[in-house]
Amino acid sequence: MQIAIDGPASSGKSTVAKIVATKLGFVYVDTGAMYRASTVLAQKLGLDFGDEAGILAALKEADIQFKPDQAGQKVFLNGEDITLAIRTPEITNNVSQVSALAGVRTEMVARQRQIADQGQVVMDGRDIGTTVLPAAKVKIFMVASAQERAKRRYAENTAKGIMTPLATLQAEIELRDQKDSTRAISPLKKADDAIEIDTTQLTIDEVVDTILAIVKKNM
């Protein structure tokens, strides 16, 4: 069984997907972390974020691994722990440019399908229901108001001691959504057969329970 969870930035996809995967005993695949890792790779090599040939050549040789840990999941690039590096503002603000590159998407989608072929997965991203796993049994499209999503990121940042103003975070989120929704290749889009969940007024537990009920119905 495959569960696809798509939606805009900070709508709660990864938090909820992780819990749903644990409850079902499925593997959780964070495809956003893969595009973020590709962006870190470009940064480390000093490549322009639009240098498709350069990034792709490095990416083809790159080993990207996820390892579960207490706090969730650690991400490794060629053996180096980049869990924190993939979340810096520079990476967040440039990942949409890298993820729009055709070659990068082809390479990542192939890797994502390879993981899905090995067993039952909950995969979250932007194009899982439309492109990566079009035959997924359950497709969720998670949304929330931009204001609420910015508030959630703000709370997350405050806990980490990062003091970016709320208005800046909302503007960054809206800009990233706009880039992700308007790119030429597999843009952020609700699949025709996806079920939309608006999480603006919902707790994490309520979203998890809603998805588990949908999964049960489809088993």
Min. distance of Cβ 31 from ligand CDP in angstroms?
4
CB of 125 to ligand CDP, least distance (A): 2
Q: Is 139 in the site for ligand CDP (CB under 6 A)?
A: no
Q: Which residue of 24, 40, 64, 95 would you call a contact of ligand CDP, by CB under 6 A?
A: 95
> Which residue number, 24 or 100, has a Cβ lying nearer to ligand CDP?
100
- Contact status: 203 vs ligand CDP (CB under 6 A): yes
Under a CB-based contact definition with an 8 Å cutoff, are residues 141 and 129 in contact? yes
| Binding residue for ligand CDP, selected from 4, 9, 191, 211, defined by CB under 6 A | 9
- Is 10 marked as binding a ligand? yes
3, 19, 28, 35: which one binds ligand CDP (CB under 6 A) = 35
Residue of 156, 172, 174, 209 interacting with ligand CDP (CB under 6 A): 156
Nearer to ligand CDP, 114 or 219 (CB): 114
- Give the residues lining the site for ligand CDP (CB under 6 A): 7, 9-15, 31-33, 35-36, 95-96, 99, 125-128, 152, 156, 176, 180, 199, 202-204, 207
- Binding site, annotated residues for ATP: 7-15
